[in-house]
Amino acid sequence: MAGLAVLAGLLLVANSVNLTMLERRFEIGVFKSIGYSQRQVLFTQVLEYGLMSLVVSIFAWFFIWAQVMIAKFALGDLSTLLVVKPQTGAAIVFLTVCLTAMVVVASCWNSTKISPVLTFNDRE
């Protein structure tokens, strides 16, 4: 079940990135016309979505930690079964940011290859 949740999350991120790239075609054309390379445009997108995933995953980790602490308080004697390690949180945050970066690069790759002339011609 967790694998399906991760897959659904990755698909949501990919869909969001694709829709954003459609809306930003003109901006990408402007960037490319003033000299940005495909790599620089990709870097801006990866940085933007990477920062968002970093903030969200840290917030989610603290939310999970708070829920575990509440459960420990409620369970009493069974609280020794619940363990939250900081290393696990760091690994989750790191993997979330890495997976988001890979999805963003895969989603933006073709959109950043287009010529600036084509984006300016499509503008209404």
pLDDT at 123 over 70: no
**Are 97 and 60 in contact, with CB atoms under 8 Å apart?**
no
Q: Please tell me the predicted confidence (pLDDT) of residue 58.
A: 93
Domain ranges of the chain: 14-115
10-14, 26-30, 40-44, 111-115: least confident range: 111-115
Q: Is 16 exposed, middle or buried (0-12, 13-18, 19+ CB in 10 A)?
A: middle
